[in-house]
Structure 1
């Protein structure tokens, strides 16, 4: 069973950087005014931040990371681990984390790693980073989590493009023997991988001229094999079944009372219908479940840290908090994390 009880690691801070451009649902040319209103009310995403073509996820993450390090007062030489979680790296090779090590001026002794895990990415990065720190051999880790996912899809695909936003986030972890235990559970179901997929562009199916030929699937969905696709019904069915079942089992196994022991539940902001259904299935107190998808859209792996910055800054910077995190996405993968925090550093949101 892929579970960890990670000792001696504290979350010291979180930051968020978004592009300067805001696009509202009604701005998309494939939506009528009536379509946009229905989308806003059902999917719940009313606006999103979109990066220009010359801004990559690494740029947004670097800005978030630089700001966080500055406000923490961490010398760059003290950062032992640099993880970059994204499905929109700068290149296929080299790893973007290596490029960021140089661009951000970290020591050559810094351990670097790319983690392309999509919507579960923040929890993957936290799990890997915390496990690297827990023995005390290394003391500080900077996790950079973000995507410019909008450009992965077809701009003519009404089923995908309005769902996503672009951003970069940074999380700082530090070795601390007084820190509370971090508990994590991960699960995978590769047979569902085709529900969230980019068919062409890898080595299984390299890019050919046919990769760029658009096909009209009806209902406003036009895309080519080089574009990322979403099988909406399969994803919805998965997201409202497997993750809440796992969260319930996780709380039962660890003796966690959802009403007494948890201050906030951070649920991946896929869309309003999915989050609402998860909340209902788990019978959660709605006042403990923050939403930010109406403003940011689906931010992939950065969804959970963006919630911390945009909706829980006052709580997380002033008082200890107990959080239960749930994420789910491509792979298919899903995970649950129980995390106790002490007052941390959260800079103001950066616009790039």
Structure 2
């Protein structure tokens, strides 16, 4: 599905990452595989360091911390927020919505919209699409898109497929009206028939958590995880990404009437280093225009990898420069989405530690 929007811009991005660092070398003994064999995966997959929240830290804690930081520094005013859109798959509670929790903790105005969206790897794009739609309303002038997850708390530390890559984090993206601004092009697709490629089997109403669902079992390949934990079929996910993402990017560029060579930056979700390298090769994009340095430094915090990518690689440039950027997220759902837009002249674009 191709979508277009007019008169919107991103005026600031703040990424909030846990200060706690967990290193792959220190974790290699957690797995049933020989340590030497496990360490051989490090350069290929991009296993390095990842940021993990302390026990008890939730999505609302990261978001409230980041928003208060912006308020304190005068980069965002509480009274200017007309809508709060939170994209997460690790809410504080089943109810109330975590966006309402954040609104209440900060004492934001009542004359606003609070909305939770249950999405993961493509969550940054989906949050932006929701913000663009809300900004079509005359009463809404500024939307704050929160993208946050703490999925390390739902990932087995004895699962070499997932735990070395998983990270926690949050991003705060301010989206507002930009009369006369460049057209924005987007693309989104979903395929629920492949939903089991990335899933947490237990914990919802279909399979409530019980003592039995918390018992780790061997998956047949040496990884130990419980039904309460994240399960990822790596081969299925890799095949999905290589098959579906390149055509999506080419379709997006065609719809926008541009060549891939005309796009300055490809700021993609980063499941692992190997996948980003293969995507760059398949699309014939120079690796320097598709950075792949997030997951090995911070881990895969689902959709948060994209704003982290922006802040890490372009934060120092985006205050006084403008670029054509392609965002792309792909994963859980299965869902894949991309956005082509001009970014720059931002009021802030940085990373802070929680």
TM-score, normalised to structure 1, is: 0.95
Q: What residue is the counterpart of 2:5 in the other structure?
A: 6
Per mean C-alpha deviation after superposition, the further-off stretch among 323-332 and 151-160 is 151-160
**CA offset at residue 33 of structure 1?**
4.8
1:20-56 CA-to-partner distances (Å, cap 9, x unmatched) read 1111111113255524532221101311111011211
Deviation of 1:203 (Å): 1.4
Match of 1:316 in 2: 318
The offset of 1:349, in angstroms, is 2.2
Please name the residue that 1:280 is paired with.
Answer: 281
Residue 250 in 1 paired to residue 255 in 2? no
Q: Any idea what SS the aligned residue of 1:307 has?
A: helix
2:70 is matched with 68
Question: How far 1:188 sits from its partner (Å)?
Answer: 0.3
Counterpart check, 1:77 vs 2:76? no
Give distance in 1, aligned partners of 2:222 and 2:344: 47
CA distance in 1, matches of 2:74, 2:182: 20
Range with greater deviation from structure 2 (211-220 or 50-59):
211-220
Unaligned runs of 5+ in 2: none
Is the contact made by 2:319 and 2:349 (CA closer than 8 Å) also made in structure 1? no
Q: 1:75 offset after TM fit, Å?
A: 2.1
What SS does the aligned partner of 2:253 have? helix
The two structures have a TM-score, normalised by structure 2, of: 0.94
Task: Please say if residues 98 and 116 of structure 2, whose CA atoms lie closer than 8 Å, have aligned partners that are also in contact.
Answer: yes
Of 193-202 and 64-73, deviating more is 64-73
- Of residues 46, 50, 53, the one that matches 1:51 is 53
Instruction: Give the C-alpha shift of residue 217 in structure 1.
Output: 1.9
Stretches of structure 1 that go unaligned for 5 or more consecutive residues are: none
- 8 Å Cα contact 1:10-1:179 kept in structure 2: yes
Alpha-carbon distance, 1:223 to partner: 1.2
Question: Does structure 1 residue 95 correspond to structure 2 residue 97?
Answer: yes
Pair 54,9 (structure 1): closer, same or farther in 2 beyond 3 Å: same
Shift of residue 220, structure 1, vs aligned partner: 3.2
The corresponding residue for 1:327 is 329
For 1:19, the equivalent position in structure 2 comes to 18
Per-residue CA deviation, residues 320-341 of structure 1 (Å, 9 max, x unaligned), is 1110111101000001100102
Q: Is the 8 A contact 2:5 2:183 kept in 1?
A: yes
Q: Within 1, Cα distance between the matches of 2:39 and 2:317?
A: 33
